[in-house]
Amino acid sequence: MQEYPHEYAQHDYLNPNEFIKMSGLWCIRVGHNVAKPNYQVGPKRIECYSLHFVVEGQLLLQTESGEAILQSNDLCCFFPDESYSYRIYEQKETLKLVWIAFQGPQALPLLHSLGLTQTTPVLRARCSREVWAKIDTFLQFISDQQPDETEDIGFSTELQEKLYGVFAALMKEGTTINDGKTNVDDIPWLKRSLDFMQLHALEGISIKEVAEEAGVHRSYFSDIFKKRIGVSPNRYLYRLKMEKASALIALKDRTITEVAYSVGYPSLYSFSRAFRNYYGYSPENKP
């Protein structure tokens, strides 16, 4: 890897040939890094899609739809012309990332099938051993390429096979997480409710309001939600609030009381109690 001001990284750039562009998806760059304590990217916009995978450490992500803290085995997606920025969350910990940037008419449908949208750009604990193996194989194949191979149809075919293999592994892992069944996209009201919760989690919405937005009875909504997502709707809202609160505290530009009000708590006491219950320490003592 090469040393840069804020990281050690390897970047590999591809120039898709006409044969590859006849397909629905093609890679334009990949890379991996080890971040330095001052690691920060953006705010910026890109003209393609890019999946970023957290190998180790924690990443503070800021997008137009909000903020989130990503940990090992999480991933996020950047969409074309959407503003984003990210930085190392805990400077005392090592942060390692892998990224795959791509284009093509199949890009958006594939991302949606994973549950990734502009308003829900993060997937939690999606990177299994199989996913990492597919990513490593794909990156190594690109790293080993020779300049005279890139126009060869055999090379192009194998490249596409390995790229689709990454998406296939991610989809397979997604069905395992969701109770061994199908992705949430096969239940439109559930997908709609997740988008609604991501958008309005900090505004004091109730589960009753979310169920009404989904258009189903509350008890049925809660039952299906827990079976497919793995936690209750209340726990899911709680997690969204705590992740946002932790990200705001890390910015160190406002008081704890301001953070409490910002994430929808009526008092510092109620917020501090909720934060301690979730993280195991008070917001004032956040590392």
Reading the chain (287 residues) residue by residue, the pLDDT tens digits are 999 999 999 999 998 988 899 899 999 999 999 999 999 999 999 999 999 999 999 999 998 877 888 989 899 999 998 999 999 998 888 999 999 999 999 999 899 888 888 888 888 888 888 999 999 999 999 998 876 665 678 888 999 999 999 999 998 876 444 433 345 666 888 888 988 998 888 888 899 999 999 888 888 888 888 888 877 899 889 888 888 888 888 888 889 999 999 998 989 999 999 988 888 888 888 76
Using a cut of 0.75, tell me whether the model's pTM lies above it. Answer: no
CB atoms within 10 A of CB 115: 20
What is the rounded CA–CA span in Å between residue 8 and residue 35? 6
Radius of gyration of the chain (CA): 20
Which tens digits make up the pLDDT trace of 148-198? 665 678 888 999 999 999 999 998 876 444 433 345 666 888 888 988 998
How many CB atoms are located within 10 Å of the residue 220 CB? 12
Helix (H) or strand (E) run with residue 108 in it: helix 107-114
Q: What is the predicted pLDDT for the residue at 150?
A: 59
Residue 146's CB: how many other CB atoms inside 10 A?
8
Spatial separation of the C-alpha atoms in residues 25 and 121, rounded to whole Å: 19
- Computed from CA positions of residues 177, 286, 250, 272, in that sequence, does the dihedral angle turn out positive or negative? positive
pLDDT of residue 39: 95
Beta bridge partners of 61: 68, 86
The whole-angstrom separation of Cα 54 and Cα 65 is 20
Phi and psi at 265, nearest 5°, equal -95, 140
Express each pLDDT in 95-118 by its tens digit.
Answer: 999 999 999 999 998 998 888 888
